[in-house]
């Protein structure tokens, strides 16, 4: 199989898993940003875990917001982040074998959590408003960026 055909096939699969990720984000009850996160094996054989932003199971509606959110102010929803929900369900012993896909790039805290969890490949569809903390990925030797960057370097990951 020639390299262009392999690259085209990888791009196709990445696009399909991104579509699944977008569907997962729609499970969130967030009234502003619906965020999803997925741990996808780097050979595309399985989704080990996924999460989306939300409250705890069975959370009541907050009378002041009319939603499960503590606040409707950006960054103050009180929701558990998608990355944390994904990691809480991740059971594989080798996180370095997984690509983390996100609908939105990580916040400062989730950047640190993903680093400490052992993930080495972190990519997203849309940029978060603040990005200066992404230097942490550089400091820790983690490959990261938007999904187009993943498509460019996928042959190095596999």
| Residue 106 in domain | yes
Residue span of the structural domain in which 77 resides: 8-157
Dist. CA 102–CA 20, nearest whole Å: 11
pLDDT for position 129: 87
Q: What is the CATH number of the domain that holds 107?
A: 3.40.140.10
| Residue 1 in domain | no
Give the number of domains in the chain. 1
* DSSP code string of 100-133: EEEEE---HHHHHHHHHHT--EEEEEE--S--GG
Dist. CA 73–CA 139, nearest whole Å: 31
| Residue 3 in domain | no
pLDDT for position 11: 94
| Residue 65 in domain | yes
pLDDT for position 8: 79
| Residue 69 in domain | yes
pLDDT for position 75: 83
Render each residue's pLDDT in the chain as its tens digit; 158 residues: 555 665 678 999 999 999 999 999 999 999 989 999 999 999 999 999 999 999 999 999 999 999 999 999 888 999 999 999 999 999 999 999 999 999 999 999 999 999 999 999 999 999 998 899 999 999 999 999 999 999 999 988 87
**CB-based contact 29:60 (threshold 8 Å):** no
| Residue 2 in domain | no
pTM for the model stands at 0.92
| Residue 130 in domain | yes
| Residue 23 in domain | yes
């Amino acid at each position: 199989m020639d390299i262009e055909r392999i690259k085209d096939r990888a791009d196709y699969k990445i696009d399909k898993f991104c579509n699944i990720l977008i569907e997962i984000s729609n499970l969130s009850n967030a009234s502003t940003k619906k965020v999803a996160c997925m741990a996808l094996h780097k050979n595309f054989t399985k989704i080990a875990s996924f999460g989306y932003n939300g409250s705890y199971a069975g959370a009541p509606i907050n009378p002041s917001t009319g939603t499960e959110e503590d606040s409707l102010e950006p960054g103050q929803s009180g929701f558990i982040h998608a990355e944390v929900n994904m990691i809480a369900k991740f059971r594989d012993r080798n996180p370095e074998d997984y690509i983390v896909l996100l609908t939105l790039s990580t916040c400062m805290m989730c950047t640190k959590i993903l680093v400490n969890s052992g993930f080495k490949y972190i990519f997203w569809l849309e940029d978060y408003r603040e990005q200066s903390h992404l230097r942490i990925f550089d400091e820790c030797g983690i490959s990261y960026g938007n999904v187009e960057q993943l498509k460019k370097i996928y042959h190095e990951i596999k």
